[in-house]
Structure 1
């Protein structure tokens, strides 16, 4: 093999090692922005400690908005309003995520006491709002829009239950488990699969929730199940 061939192999191994580090140490923990994989390809093995440090950062709630008090909402008060189970629903805009919302409505009907919609973004919790990158600011804007849209849909369909929202950062399953514990929810609802890279590469958020949760987890079946 020529010298150029050996150099090419070294370059490929270098790039793949950095991309693999981004996938294993960051992608599996919810940090899936494309630029991490580009940086990994450039830095190669040098990116491994960076990916480990970034991926192991603790989970955090970036924005938390409680639902409206049932006593202050307009319209008639139904029996059981505010007294049903408190439900945490993980959303990411994927088809399975939206199916989880429909499943929750089908299973609980109008009997939920409080709904909490939560989504996970790849934004560092320690960074001040005015120091965030354009990509991070865009992620937060998309997350707010997603939660607002899904909350409005739930309010129109099930006005009895107040709906709060959480924008989280960190490994998705761990972030959802942390907020489930802090908000003392009675049930977690999530789609079987979500958006992002492949299920096999990133691992299953749903499987980790089922394995580690200390409260019931309702999984919405995949469309092809």
Structure 2
């Protein structure tokens, strides 16, 4: 094996170590496009940076009051991300739980880097999507939240801090494969800190 092969192997290992670090960071709520470039360039050195950079606690980015409280007693949180599955989750929450709810919160989770820098207008996009969701619900959605962090952890933390009775999510979400970022519904079920209702198919929003 010539020297060139050793160089190529070393480069491949360097890049692979960096990309593994980027994947680890994405699982923990850091998904800015700059990390991919840094993973390729800095390789295993990025792991040292990541240990200091990665945040431990999901946060709230923005909140909007969207409607009046309902006549029921349930406090419901719906995860929204623009996918057909999240639309099904909203439809299920409105159609099945709507008459029993006091509070119905629609929340979208962005990564920490989008929350800080709003790269590609992710926070603005999330606010716009949530406003549309609130309108489509016919007034059933009482508040909209933009959260930052790993999706399952952010939803679970918000639910615990706000006395949410049930979290409604779609079976799958939008974005990278669940093999890379994990399945939010499964992670919430494993967490077990709050009851979870998973929407399996497409449900129309019946709040009007």
Q: Same fold (TM over 0.5)?
A: yes
1:116-175 alpha-carbon deviations (Å, 9 max, x no partner)? 0111112359x8xxxx53616x111111111111111112xxx3x352011111122111
Residue 44 of structure 1: how far off its partner (Å) = 0.3
Q: Who is 1:16 aligned against?
A: 16
Runs (5+) with no aligned partner, structure 1: 71-80
Aligned to 1:28: 27
Structure 1 window deviating more from structure 2 (201-210 vs 37-46): it is: 201-210
Which of residues 94, 104, 120 is equivalent to 2:93? 104
- What is the rounded CA distance, in whole Å, between the counterparts of 1:69 and 1:200 in structure 2? 39
8 A contact 2:71–2:99 mirrored in 1 = no
Number of residue pairs matched?
202
Q: CA deviation at 1:90?
A: 0.8
Give 1:55's aligned residue. Answer: 54
Kindly report the root-mean-square deviation, in angstroms, between the aligned alpha carbons of the 2 structures: 2.3
Contact 2:169 2:197 in 1 (8 A): yes
Equivalent-residue separation in structure 1 for 2:196 and 2:176 (angstroms): 23
Matched, 1:45 2:44: yes
What SS does the corresponding residue of 1:142 show, helix, strand or coil? helix
1:171-191, Cα deviation, whole Å (9 max, x unpaired): 221111111122211110011
TM-score by length of 1: 0.80
Give the structure 2 partner of residue 186 of structure 1. 165
* Paired residue secondary structure (2:44): helix
CA contact (8 A) 2:78 2:168 kept: yes
Q: 2:142 aligns with which of 153, 163, 168?
A: 163
CA distance, structure 1, for counterparts of residue 95 and residue 118 of structure 2: 39
Match of 2:117 in 1: 133
Q: Specify the alignment match of 2:206 in structure 1.
A: none
Asked whether 1:217 is paired with 2:206, we answer no
Deviation at 1:23, TM superposition (A): 0.5
